[in-house]
């Protein structure tokens, strides 16, 4: 990345960080309010102590009045007690609120993923951007994560500057008495201006060095992001249960260890280390040197004025403490401004992700609640190509689903079957043509309403580590009798009877020690039961028996009439023998429907694609190629 892409004007940086602050404040206002309260008390506490200690020292060095000494001691003890208790209470308040920060930050991205258009979430560029943001956060907490830190640092710096300025202003206004002779030069306005200028230059130069050092963060972000990702992948391989068998069978631990060490070497001796050894390290060292020189100048100036009689010994403590605090406050503020500019670079990625618009048209019509479940869907000259692709995945597909019938969709990999289902469920909109529900373009219906007429068992379906009943019902409150019936219809009855907790059994052991592990075939039956529980007019089964053994597969087919229960069913499969029970078969090839008809009609067409596919599979079922494969 070029440097001009990394640097943003301060105004633009402040705008981006301000937008991020406003956005996060709406999410977790108490986190920021508790930080404000703690910053105020943290800033006041040292200055109150400095002021009271100075008065006590003055009294000890002066009249030594016992009553005044007792009074100042009581003031010091009382304020320390009050401020200490208050800070502890505020700290606890802040800590409890900060716990919520992590939850809300995770939910920001989770909600965005769940509510963005599926076509955007399905885009690899979206996931690449998301993983970049996660890497930025995990590496050094840049982006939204940094806002809370920057807010606190800015607040602390401003309060430190105000408090220190209030206590140190008299350092320059109290004059050296005329009796001090040549020391009276410190009263001259030019001398005072010179001292203030030297101090301010030192105070500003030190944080500018820190700012310059921090500016290297965006320059190495891409390098570190790649290194962290590789390092994280290989370091976690040993603890991933699903990979454990392969690693042991093929002795993959050697190659994993090689890449783990290689990545470590890249991180230890790569661009970051060269910068630390070179410019970055020198710049930070220079900043520390300037800060030390400033402290020396302050001590010299304050002690010289005290020696000349401008103020007492107690004031020395006050002025040195205040000036050092003022230096720290200004240094922090300048450093924060630098961090704000650096953070703006990362915030652009955050908002690029969060600002992804939902472009799919959201209709206003409600889908008719029909007791006869007669929903008719028609594809009319539908063509589609994925965003960023010039090649059509579907081309001029026209098809009407017959209500209550069972349609099988077959074809080789890449023929457009999955794309067809994504369009049918409106996960994507057609590039050309229309999809109609009861004669109306589906884009005119409310999105959620339209989605509710489909129950889908995807080939790569997922179950959650919750109870069996919650997985079937996809919710916490559900009809237990209906959930059990759906599980038995899907062929899970025998396994259900063996579970002591029945529907209350937790799947997997992520959260519960007594959770049960289910096989691929059992998980597939639960997914089918989930589709049945939804009781939608359309049921779509994408390779629903791929993980089932032949007996379990035959059980599902035998109950298919009960499973579909008069609904319009769409069945996608690579096993042509399992499509014979469907009323119609649509054959996809290279993004088009090349054949459409019953099994008998299609297999009889010796020049058709279905005949070719059928006989290609038939040899695995019978000794001699025959015209059919035995029923399962």
CATH of the domain at 156: 1.20.1560
Position 623 scores a pLDDT of 44
Residue 148's closest CA among 65, 72, 35?
35
Does 319 lie in the same domain as 177?
yes
CA torsion, points 445, 446, 452, 458, in degrees to nearest 10? 90
Q: Give residue 478's domain range.
A: 461-535
Q: Locate 400 and state its tokens.
A: 């009407």
Q: Residue 1 pLDDT > 50, yes or no?
A: no
Cβ within 8 Å of residue 605, ≥6 positions away: 595, 611
Q: Residue 4 pLDDT > 60, yes or no?
A: no
Q: Residue 385 pLDDT > 60, yes or no?
A: yes
Beta-strand pair 377-384/432-437 = antiparallel
- Phi, psi of 410, deg, nearest 5: -130, 165
User: Average pLDDT, stretch 550-562?
Assistant: 66
Position 628 scores a pLDDT of 42
User: Average pLDDT, stretch 428-435?
Assistant: 94
Does 546 lie in the same domain as 423?
yes
Does 403 lie in the same domain as 339?
no
Does 470 lie in the same domain as 435?
no
Position 193 scores a pLDDT of 85
pLDDT per residue over 340-378, tens digit each? 888 998 899 999 999 999 888 888 888 766 655 677 889
Residue 366 within a domain: no
Residue 237 within a domain: no
What proportion of the chain, given as a percentage, has pLDDT over 70?
83
Lowest mean pLDDT segment, chosen from 194-203, 424-433, 487-496, 621-630 = 621-630
Domain count, the chain: 3
Q: Which is more confidently placed, 248 or 425?
A: 425
Beta-strand pair 568-572/406-411 = parallel
Contacts 24+ apart (CB under 8 A), 605-610: 609/411, 610/410, 610/576, 610/585
CA distance 217 to 345: 10
User: Average pLDDT, stretch 594-619?
Assistant: 86
Residue 602 within a domain: no
Position 546 scores a pLDDT of 65
Does 555 lie in the same domain as 500?
no
What proportion of the chain, given as a percentage, has pLDDT over 90?
16
CA torsion, points 8, 14, 15, 18, in degrees to nearest 10? 140
Residue 218 within a domain: yes
CA torsion, points 286, 287, 290, 295, in degrees to nearest 10? -140
Average pLDDT, the chain: 80
Length of the chain equals: 632
Position 549 scores a pLDDT of 67
Residue 631 within a domain: no
Position 625 scores a pLDDT of 41
Residue 571's closest CA among 590, 585, 559, 558?
585
pLDDT per residue over 235-284, tens digit each? 666 666 667 777 777 777 777 777 666 665 555 555 555 555 556 667 76
624: pLDDT confidence band, cut at 50, 70 and 90?
Answer: very low
Residue 225's closest CA among 348, 340, 128?
128
Does 158 lie in the same domain as 189?
yes
Beta-strand pair 454-457/538-542 = parallel
442: pLDDT confidence band, cut at 50, 70 and 90?
Answer: very high
Residue 261 within a domain: no
Position 369 scores a pLDDT of 63
Does 105 lie in the same domain as 208?
yes
- CA 164 to mean position of chain CA atoms: 40
Residue 290 within a domain: yes
Max mean pLDDT range (120-134, 319-333, 481-495): 481-495
């Amino acid at each position: 990345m070029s440097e001009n892409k990394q640097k943003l004007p301060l105004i633009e940086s402040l705008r981006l960080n301000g937008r991020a602050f406003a956005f996060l404040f709406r999410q977790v206002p108490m986190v920021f309010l508790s930080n404000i309260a703690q910053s105020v008390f943290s800033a006041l506490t040292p200055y109150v102590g400095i002021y009271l200690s100075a008065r006590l020292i003055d009294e000890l060095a002066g009249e030594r009045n016992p009553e005044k000494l007792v009074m100042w001691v009581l003031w010091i003890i009382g304020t320390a007690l009050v401020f200490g208790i208050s800070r502890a209470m505020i700290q606890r308040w802040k800590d409890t609120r900060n716990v919520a920060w992590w939850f809300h930050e995770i939910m920001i991205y989770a909600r965005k993923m769940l509510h963005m258009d599926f076509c955007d979430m399905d885009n690899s560029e979206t996931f690449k951007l998301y993983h970049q943001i996660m890497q930025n956060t995990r590496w050094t907490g840049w982006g939204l994560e940094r806002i809370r830190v920057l807010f606190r640092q800015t607040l602390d710096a401003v309060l430190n500057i105000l408090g220190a300025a209030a206590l140190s202003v008299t350092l320059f206004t109290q004059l050296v008495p005329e009796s001090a002779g040549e020391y009276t030069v410190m009263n001259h306005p030019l001398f005072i201006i010179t001292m203030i200028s030297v101090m301010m230059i030192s105070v500003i130069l030190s944080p500018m060095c820190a700012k310059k050092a921090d500016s290297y963060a965006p320059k190495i972000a891409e390098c570190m992001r790649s290194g962290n990702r590789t390092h994280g992948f290989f370091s976690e391989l040993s603890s991933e249960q699903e990979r454990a068998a392969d690693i042991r069978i093929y002795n993959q631990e050697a190659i994993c260890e090689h890449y783990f060490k290689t990545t470590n070497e890249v991180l230890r001796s790569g661009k970051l280390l060269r910068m630390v050894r070179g410019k970055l390290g020198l710049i930070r060292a220079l900043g520390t040197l300037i800060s030390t020189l400033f402290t020396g100048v302050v001590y010299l100036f304050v002690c010289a004025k005290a020696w000349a009689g401008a103020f007492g010994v107690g004031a020395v403590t006050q002025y040195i403490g205040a000036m050092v605090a003022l230096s720290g406050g200004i240094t922090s503020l300048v450093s924060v401004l630098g961090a704000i500019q650096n953070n703006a670079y990362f915030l652009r990625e955050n908002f690029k992700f969060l600002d992804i618009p939902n472009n799919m048209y959201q209709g206003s019509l409600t889908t008719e609640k029909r007791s006869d479940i007669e929903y008719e869907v028609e594809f009319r000259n539908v063509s589609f190509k994925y965003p960023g692709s010039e090649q059509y995945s579907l081309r001029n597909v026209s098809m009407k689903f017959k209500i209550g019938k069972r349609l099988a969709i077959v074809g080789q990999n890449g023929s457009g079957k999955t794309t067809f289902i994504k369009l049918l469920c409106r996960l994507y909109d057609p590039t050309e043509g229309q999809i109609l529900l009861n004669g109306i373009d589906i884009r005119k219906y409310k999105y959620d309403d339209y989605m509710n007429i489909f129950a889908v068992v995807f080939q790569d379906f997922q179950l959650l580590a919750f109870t069996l009943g919650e997985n079937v019902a996809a919710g916490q409150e559900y009809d237990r009798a209906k959930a059990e019936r759906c599980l038995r219809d899907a062929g899970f009855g025998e396994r259900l009877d063996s579970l002591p907790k029945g529907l209350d059994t937790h799947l997997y052991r992520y959260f519960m020690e007594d959770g049960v592990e289910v096989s691929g075939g059992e998980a597939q039956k639960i997914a089918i039961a989930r589709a049945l529980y939804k009781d939608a007019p359309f049921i779509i089964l994408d390779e629903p028996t791929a993980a089932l053994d032949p007996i379990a597969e035959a059980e599902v087919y035998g109950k298919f009439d009960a499973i579909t229960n008069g609904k319009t069913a769409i069945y996608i499969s690579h096993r042509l023998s399992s499509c014979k029970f469907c009323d119609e078969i649509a054959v996809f090839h290279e993004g088009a429907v090349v054949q459409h008809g019953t099994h008998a009609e299609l297999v009889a067409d010796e020049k058709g694609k279905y005949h070719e596919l059928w006989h290609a599979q038939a040899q695995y079922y019978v000794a001699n190629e025959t015209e059919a494969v035995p029923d399962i």
